[in-house]
Amino acid sequence: MENTFGESTRQQKVARQIQKDISELFLRDCADIVKGVIVSVTAVRVSPDLEYARIYLSIFPFAKHEEIMARIEAESWRIRKLLGARMRNQLRVVPEITFFLDDSLEYIENIDNLLKK
Query: How confident is the model over 61-89, as pLDDT tens digits?
Result: 888 889 999 999 999 999 999 999 998 88
pLDDT of residue 92: 86
What pLDDT is stored for residue 82 in this prediction? 95
- Nearest of 87, 92, 10 to residue 48 by alpha carbon: 10
What angle in degrees, to the nearest 10, is found between the helix axes of 76-87 and 65-74? 60
Q: Where are the domains of the chain?
A: 9-116
CA distance linking residue 101 with residue 42, whole number of Å? 9
Note the pLDDT tens digit of each residue in 57-67: 998 888 888 99
pLDDT at 5 over 90: no
Superfamily for 9-116?
K homology (KH) domain (3.30.300.20)
pLDDT given for residue 67 in this prediction:
92
- pTM above the 0.85 mark? no
User: In the predicted model, is pLDDT for residue 36 greater than 60?
Assistant: yes
Q: For residue 2, what pLDDT is reported?
A: 47
CA–CA separation, 116 vs 104, rounded Å? 18
